Amino acid sequence: MPEATARVSHAEMANALRALAMDAVEKAKSGHPGLPMGAADFATVLFTKFLKYDAADPTWPDRDRFVFSAGHGSMLIYGLLHLTGVKGVTIEELQRFRQLESKTPGHPENFMTPGVETTTGPLGQGLATAVGFALAERMLAAQFGPELVDHHTYVLASDGDLMEGISQEAIALAGHLRLSKLIVLFDDNGITIDGPLSLSDSTDQLKRFEASGWRAVRVDGHDPKAVGRAIARARKADRPTLIACRTVIGFGAPKKAGTSKAHGEPLGAEELQAAKDALGWTHPPFVVPDPIRAAWAKAGRKGRAARKAWAERLEAAPAEVRAEFERRRRRALPAAFGEAMTDLKRRLVAEPQAVATRKASEIALEAIAPVLPELVLGSADLTPSNNTRTRGLDVIAPGSYGGRYVHFGIREHAMAAAMNGLALHGGFRPAGGTFLVFTDYARPAIRIAALAGIPVIYVMTHDSIGLGEDGPTHQPVEHLAALRAMPNLRVFRPADAVETAECWQLALERTDGPTVLALTRQGLPALRKDAGENRCAQGAYEIAGADGAKATLFASGSEVEIALAAKKLLDEKGMPTRVVSVPSLELFLAQPHSVRRQVVGDAPVRVAVEAAVRFGWDALIGDDGLFVGMKGFGASAPYKDLYRHFGITPEAVADRVLRTHNL
């Protein structure tokens, strides 16, 4: 085994990681010791020999990315961050593993722990997110050149990561795009929770990756030389590489090693001591001797010279290049963005566009894309339906990364995860499309974006029964409610072209979380006549007033038109009615009470109109409010027939109001 320093061996360094993991899991009385113990050897090789990394600044832009996909083995990454010297990841924090607000939560969270690139835990998610990181690196390098952007993306993945369906979407995309700087270290231990992998899987992973355009090799994951050779070759490959590192889960534990018993529970005092004896680790819990610490600290400084050289290159770059690089890193919008939005809204008022909001979104993007070079657009094979590809946007292709449009293929889940990676890498604001109903196919990645506060944008068209003939499999009914229920996810359902522009602006101005734009397939009238303030910003506003209103109709998206027509009928019948457009129900419900009271008003009858289920609307209309919308799934028919069939019409709304009022 190669000597890590004159006095400290590779084995001692790897054993330090093992010991910390065993001790922390034991102290927490919960956690996963098996993976850190098994993967410690190849992780040590990566960090000591290859990773371009400086623990003094774990966020410098041109660092290699290390994505810890098998999040349950989190003690391994905490050990690595601690031993290499990342500020804040102290031994006390390791002793508080899995405790409230510690920097060492059960699964890695990038917003809790410096040095953690992305939140992982749901298996497969990190691997797919890493594809976004690797793609971002290529794209940013194409825009800023290799002097400023030239790094690798490494992933630590487990059997579970590779079994999840999202892994196939992700590796197919990475293989197709020839993301050769993506290197996956697979902790190939053949054990999962239920027992041996053979209980449920007989896939030849190497062949699977090869079939998707990867290089794939298998090595002894406990042989540092073999691992080192494999990584060195992978770095020269013209394709992404899978390195299956054969390991023993719980390496060193005499009774539990190689069994699922090592996976997810403390070893227990006796087995822990026996493991330490077997490994020759004689130090008390949480104690790492100084020479071993020093060797790890040295590994933590390995990338310092590279970081400094990079900083000098940035310093030497032309001022405007530097400013642009920094602006994009800060996620600050350029001044031209605000101007473009003001112009766009003025234009939309001067020349009203009666179009589907998916078309309005395209119009907005035509104005935004030229002034926002960080905007990356794409679709999961619904480009002509989502209207996400604007003029002049080149397509990202294998070996050609200068464009800004990604054909993600029919891979909603990997698209959403890759969008997370593109955004987390820095330098990009991704927006990807599919049908709203297929947010279900992307939901776990959407949830990571919401949890980790990643500012990605989902362009979700065909947002109701208004999509018509494709029928109930394609017609979302519960999706708006389900998405609104997710903390920190903002859902917008604009009613016309002006609202669509406003919602795009709000989505892009947001830097602390994701946004869904729910857009129609069917054409809608131009409703808004004002181009001034962004009225969608408070989630809801009065779009049509009435003196002495007896009823208020709340509606979103395509149903605002219906509410306005119902108001006309009701006004004529002597029932003054106002209409409130609700582009974002949850944003509105988060407004101060005074704002809500003013917008909600005091008309005695409250009605919500939305071609979706009622769930969630009671917070606005009360449980005695009227709801005109959907109760079950949709049906297949031309959309106007569907609206009539399900009773979502101006006449039906007016009728319900009059009947209630006359009670």
Query: Residues interacting with ligand TPP, by CB under 6 A?
Result: 32, 34-35, 70, 72-73, 121-123, 158-160, 164, 187, 189, 191-193, 249, 263
Residues sharing a CB contact under 8 Å with residue 597, sequence separation 6 or more, in sequence order: none
Residues sharing a CB contact under 8 Å with residue 60, sequence separation 6 or more, in sequence order: 54, 307, 310, 311
What's the min distance (Å) between Cβ of 523 and ligand TPP? 40
Using CB atoms within 10 A of its CB, is residue 5 exposed (0-12), middle (13-18) or buried (19+)?
middle
Q: Which is nearer to ligand TPP, 189 or 205 (CB)?
A: 189
What's the min distance (Å) between Cβ of 32 and ligand TPP? 6
The Cα 633–Cα 649 span in angstroms is: 18
Residue 412 annotated in active site: yes
Contact between 8 and 295 under an 8 Å Cβ cutoff? The reply is yes
Three-state DSSP state, 218: strand
**How many angstroms from the chain centroid is the CA of residue 62?**
21
> Can you read off the two tokens belonging to residue 479?
């999706």
The Cα 536–Cα 506 span in angstroms is: 8
Q: Which is nearer to ligand TPP, 106 or 650 (CB)?
A: 106
The Cα 200–Cα 207 span in angstroms is: 18
Query: Which one is catalytic: 362, 412, 499, 559?
Result: 412
What's the min distance (Å) between Cβ of 164 and ligand TPP? 6
What's the min distance (Å) between Cβ of 63 and ligand TPP? 26
- Residue 317 per-residue DSSP state: S
Q: Which is nearer to ligand TPP, 266 or 426 (CB)?
A: 266
- Residue 73 per-residue DSSP state: G
Three-state DSSP state, 72: helix
In the block, which residue shows the tokens 């409010």? 625
What's the min distance (Å) between Cβ of 35 and ligand TPP? 4
The Cα 119–Cα 131 span in angstroms is: 14
What's the min distance (Å) between Cβ of 79 and ligand TPP? 15
> Can you read off the two tokens belonging to residue 287?
């104690």
Backbone angles phi, psi at 578, to 5 degrees: -110, 160
What's the min distance (Å) between Cβ of 120 and ligand TPP? 9
Q: Which is nearer to ligand TPP, 70 or 219 (CB)?
A: 70
Longest dimension (CA), the chain: 92
Q: Which is nearer to ligand TPP, 189 or 390 (CB)?
A: 189
Per-residue CA distances from 164 to 35, 169, 410, 411, 469 (Å): 18, 10, 16, 13, 33
> Can you read off the two tokens belonging to residue 265?
């529970």
Per-residue CA distances from 518 to 448, 492, 502, 523 (Å): 19, 6, 13, 14
> 157 - beta bridge partners?
186
Q: Which is nearer to ligand TPP, 18 or 484 (CB)?
A: 18
The Cα 52–Cα 41 span in angstroms is: 18
Tell me which amino acid residue 535 is. R
The Cα 104–Cα 121 span in angstroms is: 13
What's the min distance (Å) between Cβ of 189 and ligand TPP? 5
The Cα 520–Cα 555 span in angstroms is: 14
Q: Which is nearer to ligand TPP, 73 or 85 (CB)?
A: 73
In the block, which residue shows the tokens 């410690």? 40
What's the min distance (Å) between Cβ of 124 and ligand TPP? 6
The Cα 68–Cα 119 span in angstroms is: 9
What's the min distance (Å) between Cβ of 187 and ligand TPP? 6
The Cα 191–Cα 199 span in angstroms is: 9
Helix (H) or strand (E) holding 270: helix 269-279
Q: Which is nearer to ligand TPP, 52 or 256 (CB)?
A: 256
Q: Which is nearer to ligand TPP, 193 or 485 (CB)?
A: 193
The Cα 583–Cα 517 span in angstroms is: 10
> Can you read off the two tokens belonging to residue 432?
């990807």
The upper half-sphere exposure of residue 495, i.e. CA atoms within 13 Å in the direction of its Cβ, equals 28
Per-residue CA distances from 268 to 27, 253, 635 (Å): 10, 11, 57
Q: Which is nearer to ligand TPP, 187 or 463 (CB)?
A: 187
Find, among 212, 208, 216, the residue nearest to 241 by Cα.
216
What's the min distance (Å) between Cβ of 12 and ligand TPP? 23
Q: Which is nearer to ligand TPP, 166 or 467 (CB)?
A: 166
Residue number of the CB closest to ligand TPP reads 160
The Cα 517–Cα 388 span in angstroms is: 12
What's the min distance (Å) between Cβ of 70 and ligand TPP? 6
Q: Which is nearer to ligand TPP, 25 or 191 (CB)?
A: 191
- Residues belonging to the active site: 412
